[in-house]
Amino acid sequence: MESKIISDSDKKNTNTNKLEELEARRSLAQLGGGEEKNKTQKKKGKLLARERLSLLFDNGEFEEFDQFITHRSQEFGLDKQKYEGDSVVCGVGQVNGKQVFAFSQDFTVLGGSLSEVASMKICKLMDHAVKTGCPVVGINDSGGARIQEGVESLAGYGEIFRRNTMASGVIPQITVIAGPSAGGAVYSPALTDFIFMVEEIGQMYITGPEVIQAVTGEKVNHQELGGSKTHSQKSGVVHVSTKNETECFNKVRELLSYLPSNNLDDPENLESSDSVNRISEKLKSIIPNEANQSYDMKEIIREIVDSGKIFEIHKDFAPNIITCLSRFNGQVVGIVANQPLSLAGVLDIDASVKAARFVRFCDAFNIPILTLVDVPGFMPGVNQEFGGIIRHGAKLLYAYSEATVPKITIIVRKAYGGAYIVMGSKELRSDINLAWPSAEIAVMGPEGAVKIISRKIIQESENKEETQNKLVEEYKDKFANPFVAASRGYLDDVIDPSTTRSKIISSLKMLQTKSDNNIPKKHGNIPL
């Protein structure tokens, strides 16, 4: 048989042709669904999938995976509609100098719908993230399961949901909703730690407006049903709502700066230019003289943290409790605080669930918890009882009880009833419990308590109002102060409010090497 000897110049030509093919295929992949679809995406006010990843990663740089994957479907004409990379762009890069994995659904390819291979890409990325111990950011802009593929696409979602669950508490998972997220597809975001939504373009719902109208007769538009206002204020599905995509990705980067890469790491300590021993005179007079007067708890928080900087989670949902990340002398701390400005800081269903989830996140990722208490109790009311305040409130008890990270609690004013116990009490394994002199720790507020325990005396007295006022004053003298609790050791100290920052920093230092474990078990049974 005659053999052909390939010359060096032939080899060079062949290699050049192969490189040209590679470049041509890459350029095609970069086009996503094509120029027309890209234009339509822009007209809808949305960025392209790769532009979004550029906003997320340091210097806009990332490495892509699986650019040449294509779907295998033959039905409904899909055999003639193939796109290099299919409907999701997957990549790895740096965020604040640390490795992060991210996927970005490409709406220009068949509406970003999830195909079997798109799911394979996402799952591969998530597997890499878990094995290497790095956070995952998922950018959602999709019409849901690829209808033409049927069960293959449904199974794809199942594979993602399982990985979301297994990665929960191992690596931080963050979702960005920058387009539609409909049907069962919403459950992948819901299984992640934080959901960001971009106003106007982001929407999430199980069933859209048309189906709702057909089934229940209710009329609602897409934004009212599943837009950022709805989910960041009413449902609590969204943790951070932003005006536009640039703000959104800046916020995601900011959040990541507070988080460790995985559950075995600690969050990064940064240099702080704020003085450790900074005294805040303002805190001495921040609590109003009248018990039922409100004030802004955020003012206290901003006074004590490094340079007044906080990252709020669920800012507009259950505003009667504040959950935020911040730093003390450069160390990351999660803060839970009652907000007297909203519903007097009472604990209701939404506040309990919001705080419980935050406490569990902090505990999973080695973030110490600071609790600032001014709580008049659990919210009374038929709606609250029917809504299950018992089981929802129990979530917060459960979360604090099981948390083993350093826990510091400061009672600044009211700590009444069950809410005293819930909000990081000593009994729920808090390490350091402090109080301001303005603290009032009691089973309930003075007026309510006197009406119950002294009803007979008041009724039988000549001047009921005078008697009641006198008894209220007596009750206040006895209980409306921190010294009874301090004398029993339920508090470690009563402090001058102006020194709060330095006390927190010294407590954190003392607790730096804290080690505590729960009894080994398969898993607990948190009241759901």
With CB under 6 A as the contact rule, the residue among 24, 147, 166, 390 that binds ligand HXC is 147
With CB under 6 A as the contact rule, the residue among 85, 143, 345, 497 that binds ligand HXC is 143
**Binding flag, residue 151, ligand HXC (CB under 6 A):** no
The CA–CA distances, whole Å, from 328 to 252, 312, 362 equal: 21, 16, 15
Report the residue number, 190 or 484, with the smaller CB distance to ligand HXC: 190
Residue 526 to residue 528: CA distance in whole angstroms = 6
Q: Residue 240 half-sphere exposure, CB side, CA atoms within 13 Å?
A: 25
**Binding flag, residue 138, ligand HXC (CB under 6 A):** no
With CB under 6 A as the contact rule, the residue among 38, 104, 113, 338 that binds ligand HXC is 113
Report the residue number, 143 or 345, with the smaller CB distance to ligand HXC: 143
Could you count the other beta carbons within 10 Å of the beta carbon of residue 16?
Answer: 10
Q: Are strands 88-95 and 62-65 parallel, antiparallel or unpaired?
A: antiparallel
Could you count the other beta carbons within 10 Å of the beta carbon of residue 191?
Answer: 17
**Binding flag, residue 163, ligand HXC (CB under 6 A):** no
Report the residue number, 188 or 430, with the smaller CB distance to ligand HXC: 188
Q: Say how many residues touch ligand HXC, by CB under 6 A.
A: 16
Q: In the bound complex, what is the minimum distance in angstroms from residue 325's beta carbon to ligand HXC?
A: 31
Is residue 73 a contact partner of residue 163, using CB atoms and an 8 Å limit?
no
Q: In the bound complex, what is the minimum distance in angstroms from residue 119's beta carbon to ligand HXC?
A: 10
**Binding flag, residue 310, ligand HXC (CB under 6 A):** no
**Binding flag, residue 145, ligand HXC (CB under 6 A):** yes
Is residue 161 a contact partner of residue 147, using CB atoms and an 8 Å limit?
no
**Binding flag, residue 202, ligand HXC (CB under 6 A):** no
**Binding flag, residue 406, ligand HXC (CB under 6 A):** no
Report the residue number, 184 or 308, with the smaller CB distance to ligand HXC: 184
Enter the tokens of residue 221. 């538009």
State the amino acid at position 310 in one-letter form: I
With CB under 6 A as the contact rule, the residue among 32, 111, 417, 446 that binds ligand HXC is 111
Stretch that binds ligand HXC, among 144-152, 235-243, 261-269, 504-512 (CB under 6 A): 144-152
The CA–CA distances, whole Å, from 477 to 261, 411, 474, 486 equal: 50, 18, 5, 15
Q: In the bound complex, what is the minimum distance in angstroms from residue 104's beta carbon to ligand HXC?
A: 16
**Binding flag, residue 182, ligand HXC (CB under 6 A):** yes
**Binding flag, residue 121, ligand HXC (CB under 6 A):** no
Q: In the bound complex, what is the minimum distance in angstroms from residue 147's beta carbon to ligand HXC?
A: 4
Residue 103 to residue 31: CA distance in whole angstroms = 16
Nearest alpha-carbon partner for 78 in 133, 152, 13: 152
**Binding flag, residue 110, ligand HXC (CB under 6 A):** yes
One of 33, 183, 227, 345 is an active-site residue; which one?
A: 183
With CB under 6 A as the contact rule, the residue among 45, 150, 184, 524 that binds ligand HXC is 184
Residue 133 to residue 100: CA distance in whole angstroms = 9
**Binding flag, residue 71, ligand HXC (CB under 6 A):** no
Report the residue number, 118 or 486, with the smaller CB distance to ligand HXC: 118
Residue 184 annotated as catalytic:
yes
**Binding flag, residue 186, ligand HXC (CB under 6 A):** no
Residue 109 to residue 479: CA distance in whole angstroms = 66
CB within 8 Å of 489: residues ≥ 6 apart: 426
Stretch that binds ligand HXC, among 139-147, 296-304, 307-315, 407-415 (CB under 6 A): 139-147
One of 45, 150, 184, 524 is an active-site residue; which one?
A: 184
One of 158, 208, 330, 418 is an active-site residue; which one?
A: 418
With CB under 6 A as the contact rule, the residue among 154, 457, 511, 526 that binds ligand HXC is 154
Helix, strand, coil percent content, the chain, rounded in steps of 5: 45, 20, 35
Q: Which helix (H) or strand (E) holds 137?
A: strand 136-140
Q: Which residues pair with residue 435 across a beta bridge? A: 411, 494
Q: In the bound complex, what is the minimum distance in angstroms from residue 240's beta carbon to ligand HXC?
A: 23
Is residue 102 a contact partner of residue 53, using CB atoms and an 8 Å limit?
yes
**Binding flag, residue 226, ligand HXC (CB under 6 A):** no
Q: Which residues pair with residue 326 across a beta bridge? A: 310, 333
The CA–CA distances, whole Å, from 510 to 84, 406, 493 equal: 55, 10, 15
Q: In the bound complex, what is the minimum distance in angstroms from residue 228's beta carbon to ligand HXC?
A: 16
DSSP string, 216-275: H-----HHHHHSHHIIIIII---SEEESSHHHHHHHHHHHHHHS-SSTTSPPPP----S-
Q: Residue 447 half-sphere exposure, CB side, CA atoms within 13 Å?
A: 4
**Binding flag, residue 497, ligand HXC (CB under 6 A):** no
Q: Which helix (H) or strand (E) holds 99?
A: strand 98-105
Stretch that binds ligand HXC, among 108-116, 324-332, 395-403, 416-424 (CB under 6 A): 108-116
Q: In the bound complex, what is the minimum distance in angstroms from residue 221's beta carbon to ligand HXC?
A: 12
With CB under 6 A as the contact rule, the residue among 48, 69, 185, 287 that binds ligand HXC is 185
Residue 179 annotated as catalytic:
no
Residue 183 annotated as catalytic:
yes
Residue 375 backbone phi and psi in degrees, to 5: -130, 125
Residue 418 annotated as catalytic:
yes
Residue 40 to residue 232: CA distance in whole angstroms = 28
**Binding flag, residue 317, ligand HXC (CB under 6 A):** no
**Residue ranges in contact with ligand HXC by CB under 6 A:** 110-111, 113, 143-148, 154, 157, 180, 182-185
Residues with active-site annotation: 183-184, 418-419
